[in-house]
Amino acid sequence: MAFTLPPLPYDYAALEPNIDARTMEIHHTKHHQGYVNNLNAALEKAPALQSKTLDALISDLGAVPDSIRTAVRNNGGGHWNHSMFWSIMAPKAGGDPGGPFAEALKRSFGDVAKFKEQFNAAASSRFGSGWAWVTADASGALKIESTPNQDNPLMEGRYPVMGVDVWEHAYYLKYQNRRADYLAAWWNVVNWGEVAKRFEGRGK
């Protein structure tokens, strides 16, 4: 079956004033839809891959024919990354995490403030377009990393529990070149409950 664009779990304006409605609409209906369309077009040339889940597809790019591997990497990554991104944001969210994920943050980074500082640094220093991530291993140890373009830690065998999009299309209408301001506002919409679910479900 062809991949489809997942609906947002909230209205385009729901994350105002932190992320503006017009950005959300364009980001979802144009950019994310484009990745879905291009991924499906690439997979038309490889029928044997069409039954794979998105996770299986991008975590084993070596099984993808050379002729479409770059298209699957870029567009499959874009589809996965954005599907995750929408889910870990919510209106009336933000604050600090709790429960096992908060404890894992403290073990890995010292405290939540230090974690946010290091995460912002990774997101701010990503040159050009890309993402900053938190990945978790089987033991629950957390690591901050960043990837270019629409690459994803799953492509290297690591499991992302959260990530932030730092492509300019994610913030330019409201924040222009002020990526740091976008990141500061983004923490106000992080859905820690969903991040915790991803953390607790890692590797399953």
pLDDT of residue 203: 58
Amino acid present at 128: G
Number of H helices, E strands in the chain: 9, 3
Model's pTM, two decimal places?
Answer: 0.95
What are the extents of the domains in the chain?
21-87, 99-200
Going by C-alpha positions, the residue among 94, 126, 130 that lies closest to residue 18 is: 94
Going by C-alpha positions, the residue among 175, 24, 3 that lies closest to residue 90 is: 24
**Model pLDDT for residues 128-158, shown as the tens digit of each residue:** 999 999 999 988 999 999 999 999 999 999 9
Contact 9, 87 (CB under 8 A): yes
Q: Any idea which architecture 99-200 has in CATH?
A: 3-Layer(bab) Sandwich (3.55)
Q: What is the mean pLDDT of residues 177-188?
A: 98
pLDDT of residue 201: 85
**Model pLDDT for residues 55-111, shown as the tens digit of each residue:** 999 999 999 999 999 999 999 999 999 999 999 999 999 999 999 999 999 999 999
Residue owning tokens 């096992």: 100
CA dihedral 127, 109, 82, 98 (to 10 degrees): -150
Q: Which strand ranges, in their side-by-side order, compose the sheet holding 142-148?
A: 142-148, 130-136, 159-165
Contact 105, 115 (CB under 8 A): yes
Q: Does domain 21-87 have CATH number 1.10.287.990?
A: yes
Q: How would you classify the pairing of strands 159-165 and 142-148?
A: unpaired
